Amino acid sequence: MLLGKHFRRYYAKYALYFLVGVFVLIAVDWIQLDIPKLVGGIIDTLKSTSPNITQIEQSIIRIGVLALFITIGRFLWRYTIFGASRRIEYELRNVMFSHATKLSQSFYSQEKVGGLMTYFINDLEAIRMSFGPGILMLVDGLMLGGFALYRMFNLNSRLTLYAVIPMVFMTIALVFIRKTISKRFKDRQDSFERLSDFTQENFSGITVIKAFVREIKEAILFNDRNMDLYDKNIRFMKYIIIVNILIGIALNIVILVIIVLGSLSVINATSSDLTAGQLTEYLSYFFTLIWPTMALSQFINIQSQARASATRLEKFLNHPLDVKNSEDAYDVSDLKGTLKVDHLTFKYPDGDQPILLDVSFEIHRGEMVGILGRTGSGKSSLVDLFLRTYNLEPGMIYLDGHDIMKLSVKSVRQSMGYVPQDNFLFSDTITNNIGFALESPTKDDVIEPAKLSDVYDNIMEFKDQFETILGERGVTVSGGQKQRISIARALAKDPEILILDDSVSAVDTKTEEAIIKNLHRIRKGRTTIFIAHRISTVKKMDKIILLDQGKVVAIGNHATLMKTSPLYQDMVKRQTLENLVEGGANHEGLQG
Ligand code: ATP
Ligand code: MG
C-alpha cells in the first residue's frame, strides 16, 4: 500500500471498486483450480478398463461452464480494479496540475519544466501500476498461490513440502532485494528527470544552439546524460534480471523434484500414492503456481517503483504554496487603483542582496506613470510585487489603502492587467490569446483590443486572421507583433490597473506613439503603469519614477526631472545623442 497522505485516501474513496474486484478475483482463482481436478478425473476415467463416457461428457460440460464464469469474472475484476486505478491516475493528475499552477515563482525558478514533466509521466504511471496491476498481483499471488498449494497439499503432502522449501528461500531473498530495487528505480527516475530537463531546454533554445553552432557540443552533453540514464537503467535491470533468474532456478528445481518423485510414486503405486490422473492434476496445480510466484515478484517490483515515485510526488505535492492568502485575508472586488509603496525593501528568496531598497512613492487613481531605469535597476521586480508574485513584510505596499498582504491574492490580481516583459503567448488561436481573461472569447470581443494595441492590421494579413494559431503549432509572430498581441490581451481584461513591462521596446516609434495615444484615451480615469527604457515612451506621462540600483532617485514629470535629476538629464542627453548618431532610424540604439 502507498501510505502517503496524497495516496492513501484513494483506497478509501475506491474501496467499493477494490472490494468487489478483489472478491471476484478470489472467486475466479478458486473456480479455475477446479479445472485441473476435472481434467485429472477424465484421465483416470479414460485409463480405467471400461471408461464411463457420460461422466466424461459431464466433466467437459462443467469445464465449459467454469470457463464461462472465469471469463465473466476476469472482465469484472479488470473493470473494477483497473478502472479504479485509471480513475485515480486521472484525479491525481488533476490534483498535481492544480497544485503546480498554485506554486509560486520561487518554485519555478528552482525547478525546471522538463523535470516537472517526469512527475506527470513516469511517476504517475508508477503510482497507477501500484493501484491497478499491483493490487491484482498481490491478491492473485497470495490467493491463487495459496489455493494451489492447499490443493497440492491435499493430494500429496510430502511432495508439496519438497516443492515449497525452495520457494520459501526465494521469497526471503526477494524481500532483501526489494529495498535495492526501490533505490535503483529512484536513481533511474532522477536521471531521467535530468535528461528531460536538458532536452526540454535545448529544444526551447534551439535557435541559440544553431546560431552559436553548438549542435555537436550539445549532442556530447546530451550523450553524457543519456549515458548516465543508460547506466542507471542497466543497474536497475540487473536487479530485475537477478530476481527473474532466482525464480526460474527455484521453479525448475521444484519441477524436477515433482516429476521425479511423482513418477516414482505413480510407478510404485500404493494406496497412499498418486494415480496418473492425480499426478497430472498435481502438475497442473504446480504450473498454476508459476504465475502467482511471478505475480508476487512483479508486485514487489511494482511496489518498490511506486514507493520511489510516491516519495518524489509527495515532495512535489507537499511543496508549500508560499504565496497564498494570509489567515485574515479579505476580498475587495472594486479596487480602484491607488497604489502606495511605503519604505519597500525586497530581496529574492534565493538572493542575498536586496534588489529594492527603501522604495517609497504613490500612484493615484487615473494616473499614467512611467517607471524608468537602467537595465537591472529593479523595475520588473517592483511590478511583480504589485502582482503579489512574492511575499512581502506587511505594510510595504497598499492598494486603495489596503495592505496588499492582507488582500486576497485573487482580489489583487483580478484588479490588474499585466503585459509581461517576455510577452509569453500560448500555442493557441489569436482570439484565445487576446481573450485569455475572458470566459469564452469570440472574435468580436478581441477586435477592439487588437485595434487599440495597433496589431489589428497585422492580424488581418495572416491567412487565418484571428483564427491563426500562434507558436509551436502555428505561425511565429515577430517580436513587435508578439508585444502588441500581449498588450491586447491585457487590454481585453479591461483592468483597473494596467501594467506594461517594457512593452513597446520592439515596435517602431510611430507605432509606439499610436499605442500610447490610444492608451491615454481609453485609460482615462484609470491607473496605468508603463515600464520603459526610452525617454520618448514616458515623456508625456503624468509622473515618472526613476529607479537606479533598486532605489528611487527621482519622481516627477518630464519637466520637473529635467530640472532636478542629473541622472535623468544624463539619460536624455545620451538618448538624444544616440538618436542623432543613428539618424533616429534605429530605435534599438536608444535603450538605456
Ligand atoms: P530590465 O530593464 O533589464 O528588464 P529590470 O529593471 O526589470 O531590468 P529586474 O528584472 O527587476 O530588473 O532585476 C533586478 C535585479 O534582480 C537584477 O539584478 C536581477 O539579477 C535580480 N533578479 C531578477 N529576478 C530574479 C529572481 N527571480 N531571483 C533572483 N534575483 C532576481
Ligand atoms: Mg525588466
Please classify residue 372 by burial: count the beta carbons closer than 10 Å to its beta carbon, then call 0-12 exposed, 13-18 middle and 19+ buried.
Answer: buried
* pLDDT for the residue numbered 591: 42
Distance 419 CA to ligand 2 centre (A): 11
Please classify residue 21 by burial: count the beta carbons closer than 10 Å to its beta carbon, then call 0-12 exposed, 13-18 middle and 19+ buried.
Answer: buried
Give the sign of the dihedral formed by CA 404, CA 408, CA 409, CA 414. negative
Give the sign of the dihedral formed by CA 267, CA 268, CA 270, CA 273. negative
3-state secondary structure of 563: helix
Distance 381 CA to ligand 2 centre (A): 7
Distance 377 CA to ligand 2 centre (A): 8
Fold topology of 339-565:
Rossmann fold (3.40.50)
- Judged by its nearest atom, the ligand closest to the C-alpha of residue 500 is 2
Query: Which residue puts its alpha carbon closest to atom 23 of ligand 1?
Result: 381
Please classify residue 161 by burial: count the beta carbons closer than 10 Å to its beta carbon, then call 0-12 exposed, 13-18 middle and 19+ buried.
Answer: exposed
Helical (H) or strand (E) element with 362: strand 356-363
Query: Which residue puts its alpha carbon closest to atom 1 of ligand 1?
Result: 375
How many whole angstroms separate alpha carbon 2 and alpha carbon 102? 25
How many whole angstroms separate alpha carbon 366 and alpha carbon 304? 61
Query: Which residue puts its alpha carbon closest to atom 3 of ligand 1?
Result: 375
Residue 330's beta-bridge partner residues?
Answer: 407
Which residue bears the cell 479579505? Answer: 330
How do strand 402-403 and strand 551-556 relate by DSSP bridges?
Answer: unpaired
Nearest 5°: phi and psi at 470? -100, 165
Query: Which residue puts its alpha carbon closest to atom 24 of ligand 1?
Result: 381
How many whole angstroms separate alpha carbon 370 and alpha carbon 544? 5
Domain 9-317 has CATH 3.40.50.300: no
Q: Where do the structural domains in the chain lie, given as residue ranges?
A: 9-317, 339-565
How many whole angstroms separate alpha carbon 561 and alpha carbon 543? 10
Residue 177's beta-bridge partner residues?
Answer: none
Nearest 5°: phi and psi at 495? -85, 165
* pLDDT for the residue numbered 3: 67
* Residue 277: closest CA among 507, 531, 47, 459: 47
Query: Which residue puts its alpha carbon closest to atom 7 of ligand 1?
Result: 380
Task: Indicate which atom in ligand 1 lies nearest the CA of residue 378.
Answer: 11
Distance 585 CA to ligand 2 centre (A): 24
Which protein residues are within 6 Å of ligand 1, measured from CB? Answer: 109, 348, 350-351, 355, 373, 375-381, 421, 502
Helix 5-13 to helix 83-102 angle (10° resolution) is 140
* pLDDT for the residue numbered 583: 58
- Judged by its nearest atom, the ligand closest to the C-alpha of residue 374 is 1
How many whole angstroms separate alpha carbon 292 and alpha carbon 284? 13
Distance 577 CA to ligand 2 centre (A): 24
How many whole angstroms separate alpha carbon 123 and alpha carbon 72? 32
Q: Taking phi first (over 0 means left), then psi (-120 to 50 degrees means alpha), and beta for anything else, what does residue 261 get?
A: alpha
3-state secondary structure of 416: strand
CA distances from 563 to 360, 371, 552, 570, 571 (A): 21, 18, 17, 11, 13
Nearest 5°: phi and psi at 475? -75, 135
CB count within 10 Å of CB 172 equals 10
Distance 354 CA to ligand 1 centre (A): 11
Residue 398's beta-bridge partner residues?
Answer: 340, 403
* pLDDT for the residue numbered 529: 92
How many whole angstroms separate alpha carbon 443 and alpha carbon 406? 38
Task: Indicate which atom in ligand 1 lies nearest the CA of residue 109.
Answer: 27
- Judged by its nearest atom, the ligand closest to the C-alpha of residue 108 is 1
Helical (H) or strand (E) element with 371: strand 368-373
- Distance between the two ends of the chain, CA-based, in angstroms? 60
Query: Which residue puts its alpha carbon closest to atom 18 of ligand 1?
Result: 376
Q: What is the pLDDT along the chain (592 residues), one digit of tens a residue?
A: 666 788 888 988 999 999 999 999 999 988 888 888 888 888 878 877 777 788 888 888 888 998 999 999 989 999 999 999 999 999 999 999 999 988 888 888 888 777 788 899 889 999 999 999 999 999 988 898 889 888 888 888 888 887 778 778 777 877 787 778 888 888 988 898 889 889 888 888 888 888 888 889 999 999 999 999 999 999 888 887 887 787 778 778 877 887 888 788 777 766 556 777 888 888 888 888 778 877 887 888 888 888 888 988 998 999 888 888 888 888 888 888 888 988 889 988 888 889 988 888 899 888 889 998 888 888 999 998 998 888 888 888 998 888 888 888 888 888 898 988 888 888 888 898 998 988 888 888 888 888 888 888 888 888 888 888 887 655 678 888 888 898 999 988 888 899 999 887 777 778 888 888 888 888 888 899 999 888 888 888 889 998 988 898 888 888 888 888 888 888 888 877 877 776 545 544 444 3
CA distances from 158 to 11, 230, 262 (A): 41, 47, 10
Provide DSSP, 469-510. BBGGGSBPPPHHHHHHHHHHHHHHT--SEEEEESTTTTS-HH
Best of 107, 344, 346, 348 to mutate for ligand 1, by most ligand atoms within 8 A of CB? 348
Helical (H) or strand (E) element with 86: helix 83-102
Which residue bears the cell 518524489? Answer: 312
Output the pTM of the full model: 0.79
Task: Indicate which atom in ligand 1 lies nearest the CA of residue 374.
Answer: 2
* Residue 318: closest CA among 563, 27, 102: 102
Best of 106, 111, 381 to mutate for ligand 1, by most ligand atoms within 8 A of CB? 381
Query: Which residue puts its alpha carbon closest to atom 9 of ligand 1?
Result: 378
Query: Cβ(200)–Cβ(117) under 8 Å?
Result: yes
Distance 126 CA to ligand 2 centre (A): 41
3-state secondary structure of 338: coil
CB count within 10 Å of CB 374 equals 16
How many whole angstroms separate alpha carbon 77 and alpha carbon 21? 4
Distance 446 CA to ligand 2 centre (A): 27
